[in-house]
Amino acid sequence: MKKGFEILDSNNTRESLMKYRENGAIRGKFLGFPFLDEHYTIALPGCTDITGFPASGKSEFWLELLLNTSLFYGWKHLMYVPDVGDKDEILAILIHKISGKTFDKRFINSNYISEQEIDRHLGWILHHFRILTKVDLKAKITPYEFWDMAAKMKYETDGGIQTATIDSWKDMKHGVGIDGESFGRDDKYLEDVLSYRNAMSEFHKMHFGTIIHPVKTEADKDGHRKPPTPYDLKGGSEWYNSGKCMITVHRQSGHPNAVDIMITKAKPKSVASVGTVGMFFDRTLSKFYWDNAGEKVFANSEKISPKALLISNKQSLLEKDDEDDPDLPF
């Protein structure tokens, strides 16, 4: 038998299979949005690849999901996200999301954050988000090294590290394998590095998120672009073949605050399903929300079914008007 492999038999499978039966198929965490829960959850282990055109909201969306796992479940995260901005910009985005207050001085008379509010949230953010930044501009890190670092930190951090995020893929050192070997071809490199990522996630029971920019696509005669697919990524077929969950965040034409969250690959089926979920972005609060019959519904730890949201909204209207409203959505 080749070193590092084994053939399954009853001695090495029954106990784990019975535990799998008792616990049920892997299911990810509820992320605060009832409609999204039907299509996507974050599971341990797992991997999610997110793409979208520049300024589509892909980084904002992923950061909000991570923030919700910290608020709801106490999760901690390792992040290398130079594409989001420098250290102050990254912290400002996270604090804006949790406080609802902006660092933009154009809003100094309305929604501008105070020093006291920064102090109130900064320690909590740094406790839950371990943000890797460069102190040497020439420093480089490979994806292999980053995921190794995440796995090591999991066992050295009180409460562990549940997720590790790269934003974006272009900011990593590529083309060199874990032992320093050169692949020469992008497809061979991607096949190796993504297989390593999947194995590390599985072994250490962590979730690895990766933001990848699509290659440039042509617009139609009206200036509209089709949403990028996994095959629009550089080395697209390898991304799709090796990917677990894959998401496209696409801003709808003519609707600056409306986005489509498109789950284009879902694996395993118990944590996600292929489909599209429409959401909106509140720029003042820096948060995503659902439009529930005219009411903004932001992320909440209480898991309410989509139907219950509509029923709740209808009930409030009935109490207000004291009669049936023919324009209610059901």
Give residue-wise pLDDT tens across range 204-251.
Answer: 999 999 999 998 777 777 777 889 999 999 888 999 999 999 999 999
Does residue 328 carry a pLDDT above 50?
Answer: no
Torsion region of 57: left, alpha or beta (phi above 0 gives left; psi -120 to 50 gives alpha): left
For residue 319, the model assigns a pLDDT of 34
Query: What one-letter code names the amino acid at 171?
Result: D
b/e map of 189-206 (b: 16 or more CB within 10 Å)? bbbbbbebbbebbeebeb
The answer as to whether 316 is a domain residue is no
The answer as to whether 282 is a domain residue is yes
The answer as to whether 285 is a domain residue is yes
Report the number of distinct structural domains present in the chain. Answer: 1
Would you state the structure tokens that stand for residue 176, as one six-digit string? Answer: 């060199």
pTM (2 d.p.):
0.87
How buried is residue 10: exposed, middle or buried, by Cβ count under 10 Å (0-12/13-18/19+)? exposed
The answer as to whether 3 is a domain residue is no
Q: What is the pLDDT of residues 49-78, one digit of tens each?
A: 999 999 999 999 999 999 999 999 999 999
The answer as to whether 91 is a domain residue is yes
Residue 311 Cα to chain centre, angstroms: 29
For residue 120, the model assigns a pLDDT of 97
Beta bridge partners of 188: none
The answer as to whether 321 is a domain residue is no
Peptide bond into 168 cis (omega under 30): yes
The answer as to whether 97 is a domain residue is yes
The answer as to whether 317 is a domain residue is no
CATH number, residue 79: 3.40.50.300
Instruction: Domain of residue 180: give its range.
Output: 28-299
Smallest CA-to-CA distance from 129 within 83, 64, 194 is with 64
How buried is residue 275: exposed, middle or buried, by Cβ count under 10 Å (0-12/13-18/19+)? middle
- In 214-305 the beta strands, taken as DSSP E runs, fall at 245-251, 258-265, 275-282, 287-292, 295-298
Integer angstrom CA distances of residue 52 from 9, 31, 225, 259, 285: 44, 20, 11, 11, 22
The answer to whether the beta carbons of residues 51 and 230 sit under 8 Å apart is yes
- When comparing pLDDT for 313 and 89, which is higher? 89
